[in-house]
Amino acid sequence: MLNIVSNIYEKLAVIRRKLYYKGILKQKKFPVPVISIGNLSVGGTGKTPLTIFTAKKLQEKGYRVCVLSRGYRRKSRGTVVVSDGNSIFVPWEEAGDEPYLMAKNNIPVVVSHSRYEAGIKALNSFPVDVFLLDDGFQHFQLYRDLDILVVDATKPFWEDKPLPAGRLREPAEFYRYADVIVVNRLNRAKNPEKVLEFLKNSEKQLFISEEKIENITDLKKNKNINFLKGKEVGAFSGLGNNGQFFQTVKDLSHKIGFTVSQFISFPDHYSYKKLNLPKKQLWLTTEKDIIKISQKQIEKDNIFALKYSLNLPEDFVQYLENIINAERLKKD
């Protein structure tokens, strides 16, 4: 039964994309370049860390960047300016957890069900040189100058099926619509050589990221990751892929030398209005999770978040700059 529903879902996804690419349904355009960062599957490929990395690197190069996001599961309605890069104007509940985390990194963010309306709001609120379209691979209403597809090497999309039998939003072969592929977690893949072989044969511009975890934070202060050495630690998260975070904690426990006594899994985008943790010496979670927990509870339960980030080669940033500058010349 699931396979039948998946076949129907797949055909509808094919029709939807073709309607836009053939111009039957029109795409709206902005006067500044738009770079989409998305994926083929639901949950947990590393889009948010890549968006933060890309935004901050472009900011360092002098570009005024703004992220446009849906703001999944936010409690606000309409179009909301989360941050102008200097100030955050709404709590995480009204922004959505991922846009709020981006805003905490001093990145301008606007959320709306319509990314076009979000962009218009941004252009009328502060200067913008380039938009980053968060989770935009299936958001066809807005024209993109560059499509970046994020791939989790531990879960190759070409081995998966469309929803609901699998986790794919579109057929696996739709990776061909991407301009750039960024591979995350290659070092954790069971067969990294086969992953690279497939992606290199795609003839897409390919970049491989590296994970960086050097610190933990309780939102008031950062500590070096070696603070965990010799301690008993519990871990919890509410992500699209909790297993990835738990594996990260396990790997760190071997590397740093601490004991993991318990893992607690919450649903994706969990609000943490009720959090009753068993008493442990220390708890680890993610930055996406800890921003939703009160400072009082963080201090009571001794909760820290791993400061997780991605790093990509300078060639990646240079590639984006070349695209941005070329598109700006066209639009001028």
Q: Is residue 105 part of a domain?
A: no
The tens digit of pLDDT for each residue in 126-177 reads 999 999 999 999 999 999 999 999 999 999 999 999 999 999 999 999 999 9
Is 46 assigned to a binding site?
yes
Q: Are residues 223 and 296 in the same domain?
A: yes
Q: Is residue 27 part of a domain?
A: yes
Q: What is the pLDDT of residue 2?
A: 78
Cα 134 to Cα 50, 245, 276, distances in angstroms: 10, 21, 32
For the record, the structure tokens of 53 come out as 């990395």
Q: Are residues 221 and 305 in the same domain?
A: yes
The tens digit of pLDDT for each residue in 23-45 reads 999 999 999 999 999 999 987 78
Q: Are residues 23 and 139 in the same domain?
A: yes
Q: Are residues 160 and 292 in the same domain?
A: no
Torsion of CA 147, 151, 157, 161, to 10 degrees: -70
pLDDT band at 3 (very low <50, low <70, confident <90, very high): confident
Mean pLDDT, rounded, of the chain: 94
- In this predicted structure, which of 38-47, 115-124, 292-301 has the lowest mean pLDDT? 38-47
Q: Are residues 166 and 235 in the same domain?
A: no
Is 45 assigned to a binding site?
yes
Q: What is the pLDDT of residue 21?
A: 85
Query: CA-CA distance, 72 to 163, in Å (whole number)?
Result: 19
Q: Are residues 326 and 220 in the same domain?
A: no
pLDDT band at 186 (very low <50, low <70, confident <90, very high): very high
Q: Is residue 225 part of a domain?
A: yes
Q: Are residues 43 and 133 in the same domain?
A: yes
Please tell me the total count of domains within the chain. Answer: 2
CB 249 within 8 A of CB 284: yes
Is 240 assigned to a binding site?
no
Q: Which residue type sits at 65?
A: V
Q: Are residues 146 and 253 in the same domain?
A: no
Q: Is residue 243 part of a domain?
A: yes
Task: For residue 318, give the CATH number of its domain.
Answer: 3.40.50
Q: Is residue 97 part of a domain?
A: no
Q: Are residues 56 and 162 in the same domain?
A: yes
Q: Is residue 71 part of a domain?
A: no
Q: What is the pLDDT of residue 331?
A: 67
Is 71 assigned to a binding site?
no
The tens digit of pLDDT for each residue in 39-94 reads 999 877 889 999 999 999 999 999 999 999 999 889 999 999 999 999 999 999 99
Q: Beta-carbon neighbour count of residue 118 at 10 Å?
A: 29
Is 23 assigned to a binding site?
no
Is 155 assigned to a binding site?
no
Q: Is residue 168 part of a domain?
A: yes
Q: Are residues 42 and 24 in the same domain?
A: yes
Full-model pTM: 0.93
Q: Is residue 273 part of a domain?
A: yes
Q: Are residues 224 and 292 in the same domain?
A: yes
Is 265 assigned to a binding site?
no
Range of the structural domain that residue 323 is part of: 2-63+129-209+312-331
Q: Are residues 202 and 279 in the same domain?
A: no
